Amino acid sequence: MRYLVRKTMPFLILIIFFVSDAKAEPSAVIPDVPWKGERLVFELSWFEVKAGTSVIEVSEGESKGRKTYNISVVTTSNGYLDVIYRVRDRIESSIYADNLSSYRYKVHQEEGSFRRDKEIIFDYGKGTVTYTKDKKTTIYGISTLVNDSLSSIYYLRSKELTVGKPVIIDIFDSKKLWQVEVQVLGKEKVETPVGVFDTVLVKPILKFEGIFQRKGDVYIWLTDDNRKMPVRMRSKIKIGSISADLIEYKYGKQ
């Protein structure tokens, strides 16, 4: 049992992030976004058993005179799963508001006995990425604006989604620049604990050997409006399936 949880839980707690390989889309100035002040709470399930929650929040900030958005994800296993595999993870992404490119990405993982800390700092003026993992730092070169694994979904939400037309995103992680193709599959009506939504179904083409390790397809349902809020996520893997369903949300001053 512990072995199965160890192999499956990383998919469950990080289902909202994706990376893969395709041709890069040029970066552009981003208009005002609809998800400022947003707070989303997802219930996580594995084998249809409630396993924990992920809370995603967006706040506004500033860095060197530039407006920023700060995104955080806190994932916590529930009391049942805590007994066999306790999870307390926090992921943070800070992005520039004018173009949604990343300038800092931090990960703190506590999963069972496993511990890991990672930080990525982007300096576009110098054309460098400073990558620190478990206190070991390496510097890499970049020549374009990029996203990290978390901010990529917010960049996707800023784009027009047309069925049959993929969206391409540049992502730096695991010491390498990856290019992400996200397929726009169709439109569906989805019922959740917080209501019924008209949605657009998207699927990232997973080839990146990081978070998902290429072990299962991931599907994400985004509301079919200007917010493109994620309301459901699913992944089929060799050992059953995992899911994240929206159970609470607010945005702005709501």
Q: What pLDDT, in 10s, does the model give residues 132-146?
A: 998 899 999 999 999
Query: What does the pLDDT average to over 180-194?
Result: 95
**In whole angstroms, what is the distance from residue 5 CA to residue 12 CA?**
10
pLDDT band for position 238 (cuts 50, 70, 90)? low
**Token reading at 50:** 């409630």
Q: Cα dist. 245→51, 74, 129, 207 in Å?
A: 12, 15, 34, 25
| Residue 47: pLDDT over 80 | no
Range of the domain at 81: 2-245
In a domain, 168, yes or no: yes
| Dihedral (CA of 232, 237, 239, 240) sign | positive
- On whether residue 251 sits in a domain, the answer given is no
pTM of the predicted model, to two decimals?
Answer: 0.83
* Residue 186: CB atoms within 10 Å: 11
What is residue 121's predicted lDDT score, i.e. its pLDDT? Answer: 96
Whole-number percent of the chain with pLDDT over 70: 81
Residue 150 lies in a domain: yes
Is residue 250 in a domain?
A: no
User: How many structural domains are present in the chain?
Assistant: 1
- Binned at pLDDT 50, 70 and 90, residue 254 comes out as low
What pLDDT score was predicted for residue 17? 46
Q: Which burial class, exposed, middle or buried, applies to 147 when counting CB atoms under 10 A from its CB (0-12, 13-18, 19+)?
A: buried
Residue written as token pair 């399930």: 45
Average pLDDT along the chain:
84
Look at residue 252 and tell me if it is in a domain: no
In a domain, 254, yes or no: no
The residue ranking higher by pLDDT, 30 or 46, is 46
| pLDDT of 98 | 92
pLDDT, tens digit (0-9, with 9 covering 90-100), for 57-107: 999 999 989 999 999 999 999 988 888 889 999 999 999 999 999 999 999
18 is a domain residue: yes
pLDDT at res. 174? 80
Cβ partners under 8 Å of residue 31, min gap 6: none
Is a pLDDT exceeding 80 seen at residue 33?
Answer: yes
Whether residue 27 is contained in a domain is answered as yes
Which helix (H) or strand (E) segment holds residue 6: the answer is helix 2-13
Report the residue count for the chain. 254
